[in-house]
Structure 1
Amino acid sequence: MQKIILLTVLLTSLLFASVKVDTTYATAGAIAQKIGGRLVHVTVLASPKYDPHFITPKPSLIAKLRHADLLIINGGGLELGWLPPLLRAANNAKIQNGRKGFLDMSHYVHMINVPSSVSRAFGDIHAQGNPHYATDPYVVLVMAKAIAQKLAEIDPVHENIYQENLEKFTKEWKKYLKNLDAKMLTCKEKKVVQYHRLFNYFLRRYNIKSYGTIEPLPGIAPSSKHTIELINIMKDNGVKKILQDVYHERKTAKFIAQKTGAKVVIIPHDLGADGSKTLQEFYNKIATRICQ
């Protein structure tokens, strides 16, 4: 009887094995949970309420990384300001760059806004291109496929389950995209400005033109001269929408809105940034607030 009980416990643990997955940001975490289902335990390292470039490297994050089987990063240089020292301190060989337990999602995405040259004179630019690709809802399918492949590599016993989850999620997401595309048809000829180039992928997907950013250069605080220039550009081109993220100061956007008659809308850059709990809710908020 004891042998039967022991065998049952071993089989159960094998069937419901938990792969510990750490993701740097919440959108990737939600996708990993969809693909892994009950076979994975997902931990998101960075709070979506803060600037994704500058997350505080808390000691608690070291403990999470130390026990991870898989680390999924955004890549494109987005984590360079905070992740490397945490990885060194965690000393987990499984999730180091180049190892089986490391997945850089930017390697699977076509990056845009790639600079022709890299210099501090151009602000805090990313050499590989704009790393905020997750704002494009179509990239979700690319991320899901890459995650499914990596989970199958780490946990080949459950490869069929990951593939089934991927197929189910892909079918559901394509249906969602069809509805979202229909909704975005109402947004033709929208004109916007952004604080930071956070939403270029979403805007590019739906042919929405951005006439500039409140930042004169990436990572550089707005100056009076640049603000006045942006106001004139908006007036000349009839731009009536300012896309403000959740973590930058809002005083400048409000000032510009007063001078141009534009509307400031808060747009989430990551799932949960302003309370969204699902992938659909996250992308719906982006779409609705740009189109309203």
Structure 2
Amino acid sequence: MRLNYRIILLVLAMGLTKSSLAALNVFACEPEWASLAETLGGDRVKVVSATTAYQDPHRIEARPSLIAKVRRADLLVCSGAELEIGWLPMLQRQAGNPKVLRGQPGYFEAADQIERLGIPDSLDRSMGDIHASGNPHVHLDPRRLSTIATALSDRLANLDPTNADYYRKRHDEFSQTWEEALQRWKTRALPLVGARLVVHHQDWEYFFDWLGIIRVGSLEPKPGLPVSSGHIVKLKKRLQQEPPLAIIYTAYQSPRAAKRLSQITGIPAVELPYTVGGAEGVVDLFTLFDETLKRLLEVIP
């Protein structure tokens, strides 16, 4: 009887330990938020990402496997500003998980935490695929990302108060390392200040705002519209007077238009990782900015 009593106590103690370490299930809409959640949450979170660096986050199929993951989630972390409007609401409806609906603690939009760029004064479908809440690609400014990290850490602590001190400690460590990296990137990027670039889509506005880079053209004739040969010809004529540093595109965008414009103008086309996993060695947010700056600096004459 005494042995059985000891076994029961041991089982209960193991259960309490397991409970205190139980992972929060985090559903991240994009790889950058999966990486940030893993960094801040450590072994207290279990993170899945709905997308990869090779998928356009605007257009994702609401697959049954994703519905099942949303159904199990304690926290949903997305870019917001309507980036996921074409597929996330369907996942939420089908999953039937009230914890991760808008307005609940389990729903977190990164764009809500910072001052957004590109909020239109008016909306007109002739303008293309314009986001009413502003440009959603907020992770490409490390200053804003720092603010988002603080808010996400607080949310983890709110959802899992037992491990609040753990989340705060991890955030403090991240914040210190991030600020050091921010200063290093700023110094390294000085040659890019005032640089002129052509983009595929307007997903680099926050990065440009951070470094003072100028967008002088887009391969898309209007945001979200497909590239056309006629538009490429117009771009060529416009860029001949003052050629930009480069034409940039991401891992999830077709390189054909960028390479075609490069071929007829002599302007280098550069693929940038855009998010975690978008290039070899880009395994977290730190290496994302390291590699992005490296590739841009390599094309400076």
Alignment of 1:168-207 (within 5 A): 168-207=173-212
Whether 2:96 is the aligned partner of 1:86: answer no
Provide, for residues 222-279 of structure 1, a one-character-per-residue CA deviation record: whole Å limited to 9, x for no partner: 2333222211222112213000112222222122112221000001222112342121
TM-score under structure 1 length normalisation: 0.96
Residue from 266, 277, 287 that aligns with 1:281:
287
The within-5 A match list for 1:27-46 is 27-46=32-51
Residue 265 in structure 1 maps to residue 270 in structure 2: yes
Shift of 1:77: 0.3
Aligned length: 292
Cα pair distance change 1:188/1:106, threshold 3 Å: closer
CA drift of 1:129 comes to: 0.8
Partner residue, 2:228: 223
Shift of 1:211: 0.1
Unaligned runs of 5+ in 1: none
C-alpha deviation, 1:7, in angstroms: 2.9
Query: What is the alpha-carbon distance in structure 1 between the residues aligned to residue 41 and residue 117 of structure 2?
Result: 29
Cα distance in structure 2, aligned partners of 1:254 and 1:25: 27
Residues 73 and 103 in structure 1, CA contact (< 8 A), matched pair in contact too: yes
Aligned counterpart, 2:168: 163
- Checking the alignment, whether the CA contact within 8 Å between 2:110 and 2:138 is kept in structure 1 is no
Q: Secondary structure at the match of 2:231?
A: helix
TM-score calculated relative to the size of structure 2: 0.93
Match of 1:72 in 2: 77
| Aligned residue among 139, 142, 157 for 1:137 | 142
Q: Let me know the Cα RMSD of the aligned residues.
A: 1.3
Q: 2:3 — aligned with what?
A: none
**Partner amino acid, structure 1, of 2:199:** Q
Indicate the residue corresponding to 1:107 in structure 2: 112
Q: Is the 8 A contact 1:145 1:166 kept in 2?
A: yes
| 1:7 counterpart residue number | 12
Tell me which residue corresponds to 2:22. 17
Find the counterpart in structure 2 of residue 147 from structure 1: 152
Residue deviations 1:104-146 (CA, integer Å, cap 9, x gap) = 1111011111111112111111001111111112222112111
- Distance of 2:207 and 2:49 partners within structure 1: 23
What CA distance in whole angstroms lies between the structure 2 residues aligned with 1:27 and 1:127? 22
